[in-house]
Structure 1
């Protein structure tokens, strides 16, 4: 699969959110801090099953996806390494179940604050706004566009479609492009 300039923009937007400490690198510490943010926003105990599942999932994401992108072996991944790594790894949406789905499932469960099997707009805004620093108006617009059936909530399938589109898609008009914050036009 050919990676487009649009995908590079999306990957850079994701990188900015994943570089939690803002030092220009993603490290295992950043991934752990990201987990802690989500757990904190969810208001669950750090030793809860939900917290452990998320932390384990994010550790696996670091080990299996991010760490192998570290081309120079310095224990950190810069934007160039991450973009090149995503270009190498995220080549086939059919690999989504093994590459991204486990972390997405944990994240869905974390965002679903009332555990009703859906993410409503308030839950979406809390997690993407408070944790990923996505402005409220962007959260509302993205949420409305992702809610394909107009139910007022994202079910697990809609959420997976959004994440799949974000990481693999090339449609410049796809609302999922802005899942982790508005990308530059």
Structure 2
């Protein structure tokens, strides 16, 4: 059980370490934001684009504050693992900045502006993370826990907590990243 959760933490570290230099830095977080902006066809200069970049700035500040124990501006795998275990596995609080990042992300995903993130819109995020079309459809069904045809902030945050705390497969959180990464 603990191995599965540790592997998930290590997998998200690898996801955040975009340039694959073994540490998470601000440049990696900007690269993730840029990847999402490109996936959604949203310019960084638009209001939604600026909101996402600002949210990712806050996300970096939150990560650095909680993970960068030696304050060198770089988060190593051991620092990241310890902070994620404390924050999620051991039941620590989710920082409000995380909720803001999720809110900005969901606003960006709502490409038709109807105030909801449907399967197709959510699928763009999951494809950017490496899920197949089939995995995206299955993931959406798992994450839409109330069955209303949309992913809410609460459902997404619950799925993130589930990802880090529940080692079972086919739970909402287990579908946030490609299964191959989680099992590697």
Q: TM-score range by the shorter chain?
A: 0.7 to 0.9
Query: Hey, what does 1:92 align to over in structure 2?
Result: 91
- For 1:154 and 1:68, locate their aligned partners in 2 and report how far apart those are by CA, in whole Å: 27
Query: Hey, what does 1:184 align to over in structure 2?
Result: 183
Q: How does 1:1-185 map to 2 (within 5 A)?
A: 4-66=2-64, 68-90=66-88, 91-92=90-91, 95-96=93-94, 98-129=96-127, 131-167=128-164, 169-170=165-166, 172-173=168-169, 174-182=171-179, 183-184=182-183
Consecutive unaligned residues of structure 1, counting only runs of 5 or more, are none
> Structure 2 length as normaliser, TM-score?
0.84
Consecutive unaligned residues of structure 2, counting only runs of 5 or more, are none
Q: Do the aligned partners of 1:111 and 1:123 also contact (CA within 8 Å) in 2?
A: yes
Report the Cα offset of residue 68 of structure 1: 4.1
Report the Cα offset of residue 171 of structure 1: 5.0
Q: Do the aligned partners of 1:117 and 1:156 also contact (CA within 8 Å) in 2?
A: no
Secondary structure, counterpart of 1:61 in structure 2 = helix
**Cα displacement string for residues 27-58 of structure 1 (whole angstroms, at most 9, x for unaligned residues):** 10000111111112222221222112111111
Q: Do the aligned partners of 1:18 and 1:34 also contact (CA within 8 Å) in 2?
A: yes
Report the Cα offset of residue 77 of structure 1: 1.5
Secondary structure, counterpart of 2:151 in structure 1 = strand
Report the Cα offset of residue 72 of structure 1: 3.9
Structure 1: 4+ residue segments shifted above 6 A = none
Secondary structure, counterpart of 1:107 in structure 2 = helix
Q: Do the aligned partners of 2:29 and 2:60 also contact (CA within 8 Å) in 1?
A: yes
Secondary structure, counterpart of 2:94 in structure 1 = helix
- For 2:124 and 2:69, locate their aligned partners in 1 and report how far apart those are by CA, in whole Å: 35
CA root-mean-square deviation: 2.4
Judging changes above 3 Å, is the alpha-carbon distance between structure 1 residues 118 and 180 closer, same or farther for their aligned structure 2 residues?
same
**Cα displacement string for residues 133-155 of structure 1 (whole angstroms, at most 9, x for unaligned residues):** 22222222211112223333323
